[in-house]
Amino acid sequence: MKLKDLAHSRTGDKGDIINISVIAFDEKDYHTLQKSVTAASVKKFLGEMVLGEVIRYELPNLGAMNFVIHRALRGGVTRSPRLDKHGKTLSSYLLEMPLEIEN
């Protein structure tokens, strides 16, 4: 199973920091997501694209989490050589993350 099967997502940017929301399609899956999609697993999955730390904020009311990811844009939208200077496509990348679900 992949993250895209349980959640949807949008990226926002401020300077060289992006945030990627992870929102359960069905709020019942929130706890599953909370267990398997951690700051550490997100940082590992994004790999070489992220130089800084990843912080996770939890929003159980919404069945959602917000990942704040530092140093992800090679300097930020105004001065980055990246094709996608805002990092907007990275939410689609994160949704490909495999989920290890305990039965």
Partner 1 sequence: MKKTIRIGTGAGYSGDRIEPAVDLIKEGDLDYIIFECLAERTIALAQLQKIQNKELGYDPLLEDRMKACLPYCVSNNVKLISNMGAANPVAAAKKTAKIASELGLRTIKIAAVFGDDVKSLLDFETQTLLESGESLSVLDDKIISANAYLGVEGILSALTDGADIILTGRVADPALFLAPIIHEFDWSLSDYPLLGKGTALGHLMECAGQVCGGYFADGVKKQVPNLGSLGFPIAEINEEGSFFITKLRDSGGMVTPATCKEQLLYEVHDPSKYLTPNVIADFSSISFKEMEKDKVEVSGATGKPLTGKLKVSVGYHDGYMADAQISYGGSYALERAKLAIDIIKERIQSIDLEVEDILFDLIGVNSLFKGSETKASPTEVRLRVAAKTKGRKEAVQLVNEVETLYTNGPAAGGGVGKTVTEIVAIQSVLIDKNRATPVVEYFEN
One character per residue 71-100, x = contact with partner 1 (rule: CB under 8 A): ---xxxxxx-xxxx----xx--x-------
The reply on whether position 66 binds partner 1 by CB under 8 A is: yes
Q: 3-state SS of the chain?
A: CEHHHHEECCEEEECCEEEEEEEECCHHHHHHHHHHCCHHHHHHHHHHHCCCCEEEEEEHHHCEEEEEEECCCCCCCCCCCCCCCCCCCHHHHHCCCECCCCC
Cβ 29 to partner 1 shortest distance, Å:
13
CA distances from 92 to 15, 61, 96 (A): 20, 24, 7
The reply on whether position 56 binds partner 1 by CB under 8 A is: no
Exactly one of 1, 40, 51, 59 binds partner 1 (CB under 8 A); which one?
59
User: Per DSSP, what are the bridge partners of residue 88?
Assistant: none
The reply on whether position 101 binds partner 1 by CB under 8 A is: no
Count of residues of this chain found to bind partner 1 when the rule CB under 8 A is applied = 36
The contact set with partner 1 (CB under 8 A) reads 8-10, 12-17, 19, 21, 23, 25, 47-49, 57, 59, 61-62, 64, 66, 68, 74-79, 81-84, 89-90, 93
